[in-house]
Amino acid sequence: MRARRPVLTVQDLRVTYGGAVQALRGISMEVPDGKVVAVLGSNGAGKSTLLRTVSGTLKLHRGRVESGSVRLDGTDLLARDAAQTVRSGVVQVPEGRRIFGRLTVEENLRAGAMGNRDRAARAAAQARVHELFPVLKERSSQRGGLLSGGEQQMLAIGRALMASPKLLLLDEPSLGLAPRVIGQIGEVIAEINRQGTSVLLVEQNATMALGVADLAYVLDVGEVSLSGEAGVLAGTDEVQRLYLGHDADHQRGRRATSGRTLSRWTA
């Protein structure tokens, strides 16, 4: 089977804050077209910095790209600001949801489609969101701030989908949610991907992330320490110990790993 072309390519990316704090130390990664790629790592590993760089919001956080490249379908994203990046097809769902609490659900969704002047495309995007999240259609006239945490996360994802992205960036979508809701969010991510949208998922809940991802990267202090197929990573002792909290033998019983290899970056 031929490997899919990458929709996103990050090459030797180095990012600092204040010209001194090194947040990313030469990471390289790819998101193949039509796949879900998970990025795992502890706090301070560089996960959010990676998403800020891809989404064009790094300068808003006083970060600076020292070297490297970020390309979407071969187009340089580092030369574009956040608005231009969205128009290119990359849309981020930020950590903490950050919906417009005083606006209605319908108004939040319309805000996500502001850059799309094609009325038919907006209607198709809204139909897709309502199909994925029926509760948003039911509560279209309700203020976003009155939704539950899980419903607000659905609204944040729905708002991003209104822009019909090629690549959806998700920053900690499970944060602060009940286990049952986290499972639902995982199912939604898988369905969004089945519908043709590539996904870059930054997540501390490794069980959910590795359950929906095709590929995964582990960041450690701004560097890629492990990468490979999600099922392979889920079966390693290191990931089991650090992120899944149980022995690797249990996970190996659930996922076949024969004939697969991991890539490591050591420096």
Per-residue pLDDT of the chain (267 residues; tens, 9 = 90+): 456 799 999 999 999 998 889 999 999 999 999 999 999 998 889 999 999 999 999 999 999 999 999 999 989 999 999 999 999 999 999 887 788 888 999 998 989 888 777 788 888 999 999 999 999 999 899 998 898 888 999 999 999 999 999 999 999 998 888 888 888 899 999 999 999 999 999 998 899 999 999 999 999 999 999 999 999 988 888 888 877 665 434 433 333 333 333 433 332
Intervals of CATH 3.40.50.300 along the chain: 1-89+165-256
φ, ψ of residue 177 in degrees (nearest 5):
-100, 155
Contact 38, 229 (CB under 8 A): no
CA–CA distance, 261 with 55 (Å, rounded to integer)? 30
Question: Any alpha helices (H) in the chain, and if so which ranges?
Answer: 47-55, 82-88, 105-112, 119-132, 134-138, 149-161, 179-194, 206-212, 230-234, 237-239, 248-252
pLDDT at 252: 38
Q: Is 165 exposed, middle or buried (0-12, 13-18, 19+ CB in 10 A)?
A: buried
φ, ψ of residue 78 in degrees (nearest 5):
-65, -20
Residue 70: closest CA among 194, 189, 169: 169
CA–CA distance, 212 with 104 (Å, rounded to integer)? 30
pLDDT at 2: 57
Question: Is the pTM above the cut of 0.75?
Answer: yes
21-32 β-sheet, strand order:
21-32, 6-17, 63-72, 75-76
CATH placement of domain 1-89+165-256: 3.40.50.300
Biggest CA–CA distance in the chain, Å, is 53
